[in-house]
């Protein structure tokens, strides 16, 4: 008996994550390639064809996990991967430990600022993402109020970076937290942030 054909718009989460990873690899190859002439024309044609195929069915938002999933990972102690379906983002795998989280990441040439160093804007994005995950895991839908970053040392590319964040206080609608990035045990950047709770129906799910 034949199984019913799947609607092509019903892409699974795993499919989406695999596709996003393939696109990230393509972006890296695009940034580093030195091919020219016919090979470059062929590559451009293939990319155009892929874009045409993928755009046949699309939504208004990049796929994301449900709002409650970070809190489940926090309660069970399981690792949680953030932004895996967004090809323009850096997938972050973190582990929650009460009101704190930790993880590791290594960033490649697409995120270079100063020579062989991570761009300052990418570091700010990392901090905001870590803070957002941490607050979301407490089931308090919130938005960033302030984010203050201090750059202490060069943050190297292609090296394992240690990610840390923890909640300092939650009073009323306000959450304050701190975070830091380290390499080989030395902090390269640190941040403090405040998050303001908003009504759930105003928060993207």
Instruction: Considering the domain delimited by 69-202, tell me its CATH architecture.
Output: Roll (3.10)
Nearest by Cα to 162 from 113, 107, 124, 111: 107
The answer, as to whether pTM is greater than 0.85, is yes
Written as one string, the DSSP assignment of 145-201 is EEEEEEE-S--BTTS-EEEEEEEEEEETTEEEEEEEEEETTEEEEEEEEEEEE--GG
CA–CA dist 153, 150 (Å, integer): 9
pLDDT tens digits along 165-191: 999 999 999 999 999 999 999 999 999
pLDDT band at 7 (very low <50, low <70, confident <90, very high): very low
Q: Give residue 58's pLDDT.
A: 87
The domain spans of the chain are 13-54, 69-202
Q: Give residue 39's pLDDT.
A: 97
pLDDT band at 124 (very low <50, low <70, confident <90, very high): very high
Cβ pair 192, 178 in contact under 8 A: yes
Three-class DSSP category at 60: coil
Q: Give residue 67's pLDDT.
A: 87
Q: Give residue 63's pLDDT.
A: 78
Q: Give residue 82's pLDDT.
A: 87
pLDDT tens digits along 36-94: 999 999 999 999 999 999 999 888 888 777 889 999 999 999 999 988 889 999 999 99
CB atoms within 10 A of CB 13: 12
pLDDT at residue 25 above 60?
Answer: yes
Q: Give residue 201's pLDDT.
A: 76
2 DSSP assignment: P
Summary mean pLDDT of the chain: 91
Which of residues 6 and 204 earns the better pLDDT score? 204
- Taking residues 97-101, what's their average pLDDT? 95
């Amino acid at each position: 008996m034949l199984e019913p054909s799947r609607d092509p718009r019903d892409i699974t989460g795993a499919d989406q994550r695999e596709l996003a990873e393939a696109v990230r690899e393509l972006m890296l190859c695009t940034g580093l390639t030195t091919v020219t002439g016919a090979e470059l024309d062929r590559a451009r044609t293939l990319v155009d064809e892929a874009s045409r195929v993928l755009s046949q069915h699309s939504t208004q938002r990049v796929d994301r996990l449900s709002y409650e999933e970070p809190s489940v990972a926090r309660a069970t102690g399981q690792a949680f991967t953030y932004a895996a379906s967004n090809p323009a983002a850096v997938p972050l795998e973190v582990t929650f430990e009460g009101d704190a989280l930790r993880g590791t990441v290594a960033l490649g040439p697409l995120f270079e600022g100063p020579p062989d160093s991570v761009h300052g804007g990418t570091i700010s994005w990392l901090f905001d993402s870590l803070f957002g995950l941490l607050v979301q895991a407490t089931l308090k839908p919130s938005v960033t109020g302030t984010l203050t970053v201090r750059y202490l040392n060069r943050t190297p590319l292609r090296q394992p970076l240690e990610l840390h964040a923890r909640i300092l206080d939650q009073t009323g609608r306000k959450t304050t937290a701190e975070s830091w990035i380290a390499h080989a045990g030395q902090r390269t950047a640190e941040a403090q942030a405040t998050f303001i709770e908003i009504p759930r129906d105003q928060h993207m799910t």
